[in-house]
Structure 1
Amino acid sequence: METTCVIQKTQKKQKLSEKEDIDGNIKSLGSLPEEVLRHILSFLPTEHAVRTSVLSKRWEYLWVSIPNLDFDRYTYDKRKFVERELLMNFVDRALCLRDSSSVIKRFTLCCDVLLDASRVCTWISTAVSHNVQELNIDIRDFDVVFSLPSCLFTCKTLTSLYLNMWSYILKLPTTICFSNLKILTIKDVTFSNEYLTQQLFSGLPVLEELKLEDCSWGNLKFVTISAPKLHSLSIFKMEVLDDDIGRSGDLCLVMIVGDSLKEFYYEGLMFAEYCLYNSFRVEKAEIVTKSKYDRIPTNIARFLWNLLIGLSRVELLRLSSDMVKVLSDSPEFLPHMPMFNNLIDLIIVDNEVDIDCTVLLKILQKSPCLQTLNFSKGISLSLNWEEDDMILDPVPACFLSHLKWIKVGRYFGLEKELFAVKILLKNAIVLDKIIITFPFSYTRNFEEHVKVLTQLLELPRRSQNCKIILE
């Protein structure tokens, strides 16, 4: 009984001690300068930052001047979607109580517009008036004609803008100038006015990074993207609108002008022609497109060839196997393959590629300084070649002087794969290593697996220093 009493007293004392510690921490936190407290609150979700107003009189209005405001209907409450009207009222209150002299560093808005177009525009205008620096707008479900506030397009403090309008037509004002914008992402919009669209992409004097995701050029014929400091351009076109398919014979020409461009990425379906003009310094490029879709434009091969010509100074090039196939189906362009004198790394992605593919062989022959060759999804032959001497004829210059490293992914041990690897080893004179990886789904039994490994390790190697590494 005495023991029980002692335990209870100890537990009670321990709880009191914990409470004192908590109170002490609160008092200690509350003694910090307001600027420090606001900085701490900026790391909390806006909803949680607002809840701190109940802690004490000093905390009551600290949240109204925090630098980051995030209003996202779809991630606001991880357990369920926030009721739309609750979110709308909360945004109204948060911006209404906002300290007029406080700066908004980041403002994120994700909601359904419906009939509240003027309300949404007011919020964006308020963010601009507070010298917003990073603005993320993700809006959808427009029940009325909607235009973003014109003050957004002349915001002098904005450095980063993300705009997603879910297949809505982007209406642009007559005056556009983002004097400090460095990062711009536009997603799922349709451009409708050629002159104003041209104004948009010409009013970006310090832009460094541009991403266009699932955007449609609508009925536009010609657009120039001209940003003197543009470092990276990424274009993703995964979704296809009916207008895109219907206009397959009359597509937009997009001229990309920028002497500072270092990285270019294109992924998806190609329903516009992109030409790189004076972009001689591009170091990294990726073109991942597809060939197996209905109603493919007849001039898509020409589009791809023009892209390759604009990337002739590239150092790292990543191509999809489907793109290589598209080009192979249009041999009339083969004589116009540019020289890739600076190309060091070549990567083929998406699917396996045939080593005897005419376009692949042509690229290899036009890349005299190539050092690494990566077939990330495997390699094969289009035919069962008994005599392989004719395939690499002539042998690419890089095989004789520079090619040091080859990787072959997704190796299953098929005869065509073995012949393809044999061709590489037979012709790569200065090769240091070839890495061959087996897929996780590889299901051969132990004896067959040993046989496949033995076949690879026994292949003749032209380079005496070449190591075969199996993974």
Structure 2
Amino acid sequence: MDQRGPFALPRYLVAPDSLEILELDLQGSVLKIPSDVGFSRLKSLQLVRTQLLDQNLFHNFVSSCPLLENLSLEGCLFYDFKVLDISLRNLRILFVDNDMGGGPFDERLWECVLKIACPNLAYFHLSDPFAQNFSWDKIPSLLQTATIWPWWWEDALIREELANYLLKLLRGVCHAEVLKLGKYILQHLYPVVAEPRCFSTTFYNLKSLKLFTGIDKCYIGSLIYLLKCAPNLQLLSVYIDEEEYDCDYEWEIPDEAIACSTDHLKMVKLIEVDYSDYEL
């Protein structure tokens, strides 16, 4: 716990009913959330490196901001949270990123369930580390851009559980027009991409897919799976990890029809591979 003591919102911030933007970087301190105060006109809330001690107070506080459109949680410690419940009808942008450089702030999201019920969400960003479990109460049908950027999970975790977790995440962003996925998503999806249940999700609205990947066969297998699920894809961007260049595996695209490649795909970008000897 931080030794500087909790930070309480000043009365001059709590009292007025006109506040629309609130940004706090508490450098690891505890935010003392008032139990009887909400911001009826608040549209944007950003919390950076902030300790949050009570899940009910935080949920009630956020829920008491009916006009909130932008919620950003960066490097926050959700102390003893069992559920991080973000249920906001008018929310348009949700940014959750706990990759803030080590310590307890890199671990606490592991210990709670992340529940999202934001039907009007347009932009979604989730970065490492992920929560213990995840649920979409309402899948956002107006989603424009989704970014899912996982880190490397420990070997002790069951591979199939990781794949199921990621499939659940992907089902929730199935209406996205732009999808950006980190390298380890492809790696952890690979064990189940051959199973029929993987194709129960179709990204009909997806026009642009940006992937960060490696050279190994697990990446190309997951890539093909995603292409099969995006029949209207127009732009595919593949960023190759520089650290993978010493791999001796050669990418091979299966000789099979993929709907987007025959009907709609207009542009393919392969980035950071032009100076290597690898072939696609």
- TM-score, L = length of structure 2: 0.83
Higher relative contact order (CA 8 A, sep 6+): 2
Match of 2:118 among 235, 258, 278: 258
Please tell me whether the aligned partners of residues 211 and 235 of structure 1 are also in contact (alpha carbons under 8 angstroms): yes
Write the mapping of 1:363-382 to structure 2, written as runs, cut at 5 A.
363-377=226-240
Matches within 5 A, 1:29-428: 142-149=3-10, 152-153=13-14, 155-239=16-100, 240-242=102-104, 245=107, 248=110, 251-278=111-138, 279-291=140-152, 298=158, 299-329=161-191, 335-337=197-199, 338-349=201-212, 351-353=213-215, 357-377=220-240, 383-384=249-250, 388=252, 391-415=253-277, 417-418=278-279, 420=280
Conserved 8 A contact 2:27-2:49? yes
- 1:359-407 CA-to-partner distances (Å, cap 9, x unmatched) read 211110011000110113379997347xx5xx43542111111111011
> 1:258 deviation in Å?
1.8
CA 1:294–1:362: 2 relative to 1, 3 Å = closer
Q: Deviations over 1:242-280 (max 9, x none)?
A: 4864885xx211222222211111223224444333212
- Measured in 1, the distance between the counterparts of 2:23 and 2:109 equals 28
8 Å contact kept, 2:4–2:29: no
Offset of residue 234 of structure 1: 1.0
Distance in 1, matches of 2:65 and 2:92, equals 12
Cα pair 1:176 1:199 within 8 Å, conserved: no
Gaps of 5+ in 2: none
Task: Note if contact 2:75-2:106 (Cα within 8 Å) is conserved in structure 1.
Answer: no
C-alpha deviation, 1:340, in angstroms: 0.6
Q: Relative to 1, partners in 2 of residues 1:413 and 1:143: Cα closer, same or farther, differing over 3 Å?
A: closer
Contact 2:45 2:72 in 1 (8 A): yes
State the identity as a percent.
Answer: 24
Once residues 230 and 151 of structure 2 are traced to their aligned partners in structure 1, the CA distance between those partners, rounded to angstroms, is 24
How far has the Cα of 1:225 moved from its partner?
Answer: 1.3
Whole-angstrom CA distance in 1 between matches of 2:46 and 2:63: 15
Task: Output the CA distance in 2 between the equivalents of 1:243 and 1:273.
Answer: 17
Checking the alignment, whether the CA contact within 8 Å between 1:150 and 1:173 is kept in structure 2 is no
**SS of equivalent to 1:358:** helix
* Residues 167, 189 of structure 1: 8 Å contact kept: yes
Structure with the greater alpha carbon radius of gyration? 1
C-alpha contact (below 8 Å) 2:35/2:61 kept by paired residues: no
> TM-score when scaled to structure 1?
0.51
CA deviations on 1:408-440 (whole Å, 9 max, x unpaired) are 11124544x32x1xxxxxxxxxxxxxxxxxxxx
- Residue-pair matches, total: 270
Structure-1 separation of matches of 2:56 and 2:79: 13
| Backbone CA RMSD of aligned residues | 3.0
> 1:189: how far off?
1.4
After superposition, the C-alpha distances for 1:111-141 in whole angstroms (9 at most, x for unaligned) are xxxxxxxxxxxxxxxxxxxxxxxxxxxxxx7
> CA 1:403–1:311 in 2, change beyond 3 Å: closer, same or farther?
same
Q: Report the alpha carbon displacement of residue 147 of structure 1 after superposing the two structures with TM.
A: 2.8
- Residue 153 of structure 1 and its aligned partner are, at CA, apart by 4.2
In 2 relative to 1, CA 200–402 (structure 1 residues): closer, same or farther, beyond 3 Å?
Answer: same
**What 5-or-longer segments of structure 1 have no aligned partner?**
1-140, 421-471
Shift of 1:319: 0.8
Alpha-carbon contact 2:234-2:267 (below 8 Å) kept: yes
Q: What is the distance in 2 between the residues matched to 1:241 and 1:409?
A: 33
| TM-aligned CA distance change 1:207 to 1:353, over 3 Å | farther
Counterparts of 1:346 and 1:221, CA distance in 2: 33
Structure 1, 372-381 or 271-280: larger mean CA deviation: 372-381
Partner SS for 1:168: coil
Matches within 5 A, 1:427-466: none
